[in-house]
Amino acid sequence: MNQFKKCTCCGHLWQLRQDFLDDPKTQIVGYQVNFDRLHLGFILFNHLKCGTTMGIPAAEFGDLYHGPIYNDRLTGTAQCNEYCLNEKNLEPCPEKCECAYIREILQIVRHWPKND
């Protein structure tokens, strides 16, 4: 049986990504970057029902973004705001950096409307 995510603590199951994003008991809290393969970085969520933190690969949300993806990474340059180096920073990156599309995915997930 296919499933999107199962809570590693309480076992709650979200069959679909839509169910996960709609759930008011899931809250985005961070992003662990993988500079070698950006799509394999983890978007971190708290499950407010049981208090655990879960990581889901950014690739699971990649299809939500339809904007440009830049080729050059600006990490370590004067243009870099170092947002990716702080896993709790969810702000969008204004630069034309390879990592910027992940920051935009974070915005989509961060502002996803929750069911009441």
Tell me how far CA of residue 37 lies from CA of 4, 17, 25, 42, 115, in angstroms: 21, 22, 29, 11, 32
Q: pLDDT tens across 88-97, in order?
A: 999 999 999 9
DSSP count for the chain of H helices, then E strands: 2, 5
pTM of the model: 0.94
Domain count, the chain: 1
Give domain status of residue 55, yes or no: yes
Q: What percent of the chain has pLDDT over 90?
A: 97
At residue 45, what are phi and psi to the nearest 5 degrees? -130, 145
Q: Residue 47 is part of which domain span?
A: 5-110
Give domain status of residue 115, yes or no: no
Give domain status of residue 116, yes or no: no
With cut-offs at 50, 70 and 90, classify the pLDDT of residue 116: confident
